[in-house]
């Protein structure tokens, strides 16, 4: 059974490592980095986690929960399906991701690093993309039920397209260090969504 102190230590390792992993990558973050940032000893780390892989999985889950919570709060404030759908590109256009998470999108960062190197992390990334797809599809299907959206719309195709535009723009804007690219592409995505509904 984990004690209260043990759980505090566990959460501290997860939160401090989550930032490091998202900024430097999983392979780019050393045990020394984790220990220096956390302020704990190597013994405390290995009493809490089996290895760095176990910690990296928990850190990814933590980062994912932060971004999902922030995005869901923005979407759920809206009343109509179209407003909910438009809230997604608005979240990224307004750089809310950068304000809540150092290093950018943990899904994108982890997908690039883990696709061929870390099967369990890659599986978690796939699950994250699937959950995101499903949530967008539900918004579209809800809009179809209320008559806001055309019944001919393919919710899965639109969801896939939205995520691809968002994640591709994040990658490009990071590579070119150009925040205006995000603003431009998210505005174009909003215009596209308004045209097709």
Which residues of the chain register pLDDT less than 50? none
Convert the pLDDT of each residue in 113-161 to its tens digit: 888 888 999 999 999 999 999 999 999 999 999 999 999 999 999 999 9
Q: Say how many domains are in the chain.
A: 1
**What are the DSSP calls for 7-38, one per residue?**
HHHHHHHHHHHHHHHHHH-TTTS-HHHHHHHH
Q: What is the percent of the chain with per-residue pLDDT over 90, rounded to a whole number? A: 84
Total-model pTM: 0.92
Burial class for 129, CB neighbours closer than 10 Å (0-12, 13-18, 19+): middle
Q: What is the CATH number of the domain that holds 92?
A: 1.10.357.10
Structure-token pair, residue 117: 């190197």
Beta strands in the chain (DSSP E): none
Q: How many angstroms separate the first and last alpha carbons of the chain?
A: 53
The whole-number pLDDT of residue 88 equals: 97
Residue 158: give the domain boundaries. Answer: 4-196
Structure-token pair, residue 116: 């061929």
What is the CB neighbour count within 10 angstroms for residue 70? 16
- Is the Cβ–Cβ distance between 89 and 190 less than 8 Å? yes
Q: What is the percent of the chain with per-residue pLDDT over 70, rounded to a whole number? A: 99
């Amino acid at each position: 059974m984990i004690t209260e102190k043990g759980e505090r230590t566990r959460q501290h390792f997860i939160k401090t490592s989550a930032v490091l992993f998202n900024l430097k990558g999983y392979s780019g973050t050393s045990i020394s980095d984790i220990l220096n940032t956390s302020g704990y000893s190597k013994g405390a780390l290995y009493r809490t986690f089996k290895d760095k892989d176990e910690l990296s999985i928990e850190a990814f889950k933590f980062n994912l929960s932060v971004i999902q919570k922030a995005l869901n709060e923005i979407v759920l404030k809206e009343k109509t399906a179209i407003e909910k759908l438009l809230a997604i590109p608005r979240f990224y256009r307004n750089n809310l991701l950068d304000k809540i998470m150092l290093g950018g999108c943990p899904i994108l960062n982890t997908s690039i690093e883990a696709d061929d190197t870390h099967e369990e992390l890659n599986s978690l990334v796939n699950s994250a993309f699937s959950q995101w797809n499903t949530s967008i599809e539900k918004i579209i299907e809800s809009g179809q039920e209320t008559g806001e959206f055309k019944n001919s719309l393919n919710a899965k195709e639109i969801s896939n397209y939205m995520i691809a535009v968002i994640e591709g723009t994040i990658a490009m804007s990071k590579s070119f260090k150009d925040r205006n690219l995000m603003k431009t592409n998210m505005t174009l995505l909003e215009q596209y969504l308004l045209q097709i509904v």
